[in-house]
Amino acid sequence: MSGICADRVVVVTGAGRGLGRAHALAFAAEGARVVVNDLGVGPDGSPGDGSPAGRVADEIRAAGGEAIVHGGDIATGAGAESLVAAALEAYGRLDTLVNNAGFLRDRMLVNLDEDDWDAVLRVHLKGHFLPLKHAAAHWRAETRAGRTPVARIINTSSGAGLLGSVGQGNYSAAKAGIVGLTLVAAAELRRYGVLVNAVAPAARTRMTEHVFADTMAAPAAGFDAMAPENVSPLVVWLGSAAADVTGRVFEAEAGRITVMEGWRPGPTADKGARWTPAEAGETALKLLAKAQEPGRVYGA
């Protein structure tokens, strides 16, 4: 390994399994000291078994790395504040925050309960905002004290947040919100030495195993295209001092990395005055005929 994150202190939320675990192990392999956060809940947020975060921290230490466990709920102000405090108390600094925690409660919209909507928005969107807020407050204080950090935040969106996904209205809305949060944070925090980006990964985890059921076994050639470890190298680079990029969204899947270009103005028309409804409709149809087709919603 190159040691690209040597001596950096990295917090990873939802790091007990899946992508978070892969990220935590990859950061540690590159020399980072890692705060492993996980509540240990089930795939739908229900109470889980044991302490997966503790097992990941044990793996890191067994490989010669440094790690501590944080079991707080990062979708609460107190939990998010204590997450940042844990890094500072254990290692005296914080360099990188990887927001990754989440779970699913999939339903078609007409069957989606309010509680399922609130729970998924809470863990994904609020669970990104609060750790980001408290980490950013620390880095702002450091900058004002004359110690501008080389700080990085990596948020976790999804293809569902970029294109939509049938049966995942709550998840898609949360992941789209994370993209908006990333853009705002990148604009606001750069003055404090903080660069903020997002990844939209595709990998086999507890949340997606039903989607990638036909790729559960590694191919004969030995490259498991859907392994979460394939996403981690990009996340580790984005979390390092070497990454001088902010406000971007990347898709990462298997051996592929894509820079997503997001919403950009397409065909336009300006009358210079107010349209009538009929004129607006006629004009909209003409513009649509010139516009690129949007990507297809997953499952449509």
Q: What is the pLDDT of residue 215?
A: 42
Domain membership flag for residue 33: yes
Domain of residue 111, CATH code: 3.40.50.720
Among 36, 7, 43, residue whose Cα is nearest residue 22: 36
Which is nearest to 101 in space by CA: 19, 158, 167?
Answer: 19
Task: Tell me, yes or no, whether 300 lies in a domain.
Answer: no
pLDDT value of residue 88: 98
pLDDT digits (tens, 9 = 90+) for 102-132: 988 989 999 999 999 999 999 999 999 999 9
- Neighbour-count burial for 141-151, b at 16+ CB within 10 Å, e otherwise: ebbeeeeebbb
The Cα 139–Cα 256 span in angstroms is: 32
The string of pLDDT tens digits covering residues 196-221 is: 999 999 988 555 545 544 444 445 46
pLDDT at residue number 45 = 57
Kindly state the average pLDDT of the residues 57-67. Answer: 97
In a domain, 152, yes or no: yes
What average pLDDT does the segment 234-255 reach?
96
In the predicted model, what is the mean pLDDT of residues 37-51? 71
Residue 51 pLDDT level (bands cut at 50, 70, 90): confident
66-70 sheet: strands from edge to edge: 66-70, 33-37, 9-12, 96-99, 151-156, 194-202, 249-253, 256-260
What is the model's pLDDT at position 214?
Answer: 47
Residue 43: what pLDDT? 67
- The beta strand positions in 88-239, using DSSP E, are 96-99, 151-156, 194-202
> pLDDT-derived band of residue 187, with 50, 70 and 90 as boundaries?
very high
Residue 290 belongs to a domain = no
Identify whether 277 is part of a domain. no
pTM: 0.91
Q: What residues contact residue 292 under an 8 Å CB cut-off, 6+ apart?
A: 266
Q: What pLDDT score does 223 carry?
A: 80
Looking at the domain assignment, is residue 288 inside a domain?
no
Residues tagged active-site: 158, 171, 175
Does residue 74 belong to any structural domain of this protein? Answer: yes
Mean pLDDT calculated for residue range 131-137: 98
